[in-house]
Amino acid sequence: MLHIVNKSPYSSDSLQTCLSMSLEGSDILLIEDGVYACLAKGSVANKITKLMSTCNVYVLTPDLRARGILDEEIIKGTSQVDYDGFVELTSTNDRVQSWL
């Protein structure tokens, strides 16, 4: 299953809800302000790092760039995808859940 989070973990509980509902092997895609969750020095970095032991964590590169976030600022092991990668994730997963 693909979980899409578009809200910042600093202004919404969408990420926390997603984490509590995601199962092992899930794909998690951070888009829009959700990309702030992948900041290596962010307060949720430990949660994301722990999640990566059981799930695949992706971040939308154009949204990183739009927010001025550099590659070296994100958690190592997160996979960056472009819009084509976003489409591929939605088509290869049997279900998609957007956390608004």
CB neighbourhood size of 10 (10 A): 12
pLDDT at residue number 47? 94
Q: Which residues of 33-62 are buried (b: 16+ CB within 10 A; e: fewer)?
A: bbbbbbbeebebeeebeebbeebbbbbbbe
Tell me the average pLDDT of the chain: 97
User: pTM for this structure?
Assistant: 0.96
pLDDT of 49 > 90? The answer is yes
Element (H or E) spanning 91, and its range?
helix 83-92
Domain regions of the chain by residue span: 2-99
Distance between CA atoms of residues 73 and 39, nearest Å: 6
Architecture of the CATH domain 2-99: 3-Layer(aba) Sandwich (3.40)
| End-to-end Cα, the chain, rounded Å | 16
